[in-house]
Amino acid sequence: MLERERDNRLLNAQAVTVAIAHEIRQPLTAIVTNADTALRWLGRTPPDHDEAREALTCIKEDGYRASDVFEGIRALFGRSGVERYPIDLNRIVLSVTDSLKEELDRHGVVTHYELTTELSPVIGHGIQLREVVFNLVNNAVEAMVSTTSESRVLRLRTAVCGRNEIAVSVQDSGPGIDPRQLEKAFNAFVSTKAHGTGLGLAICRMIVEGHGGRLTASSDGKSGALFQFVLPIGSTDRAAGSP
């Protein structure tokens, strides 16, 4: 159990590193560029203090932007040692679609639920697992909105598999993914979207694996995609020790 906990921490650290590297690069580049500009203005004879001040003001703003990034990342991964408790995955699924209700309605997405009533809680990080479901649903909606098709169907399922696992699946009726590209979609920075980060699925997989589970995808490359993650049902002993 200690080994697993250590692995979980490593996976979390990895996910955090990837996210920070990606998000922080832009303000850092801006800070260096603006510092160069300020130095150039100050190096003139006579120095142009107004221009230098403007560049320094930009550096200050870039600094704030960078610290906002850390706030966002803390919200996603923070306090991971504390937040291990029994999670009701049905509730997570419903809370995600609830928060996206407006978006789903606006694009005419019809949502079908098949949520098992025999669900046992899994032990995990609520914020992280919610982030996984949110990312998968968000990708599904973005995929369906990218086509002109009138029929947009989102299927959300939870099911007990075997004696000790729970499966959550998110299926859409979008364009799907070329089966040869399926594994690549999980790599960091792989995105087919103009403003995509390509981090969603990479982070989802790290979170799921950090919970001792698996995240997989299937698609025939034309009639939608199905993403499914399987998590081990938590032992009651561990649940009892949690807040």
Positions touching ligand ADP (CB under 6 A) are: 135, 139-140, 143, 172, 174, 176-177, 185, 190-193, 196-202, 225
For residue 153, give the H/E element and its range. Answer: strand 152-161
DSSP assigned state of 116: -
Shortest Cβ 161–ligand ADP spacing (Å): 22
Residue 119: C-alpha distances to residues 41, 91, 110, 167 (Å): 65, 11, 24, 10
The residue among 58 and 145 lying less far from Mg ion, judged by its C-beta, is 145
Shortest Cβ 141–ligand ADP spacing (Å): 8
Shortest Cβ 186–ligand ADP spacing (Å): 7
Question: Which residues lie below 8 Å from residue 115, measured CB to CB, with a gap of 6+?
Answer: 90, 93, 94, 156, 157, 158
The residue among 200 and 213 lying less far from ligand ADP, judged by its C-beta, is 200
200 binds Mg ion (CB under 5 A): yes
174 binds Mg ion (CB under 5 A): no
The sign one gets for the Cα dihedral 103, 105, 106, 107 is positive
Interface stretch with Mg ion, choices 91-99, 111-119, 160-168, 197-205 (CB under 5 A):
197-205
The residue among 158 and 171 lying less far from ligand ADP, judged by its C-beta, is 171
Checking phi first, is residue 196 left (phi over 0); if not, alpha (psi -120 to 50) or beta? beta
- The token duo for 99 is 């928060």
Shortest Cβ 86–ligand ADP spacing (Å): 28
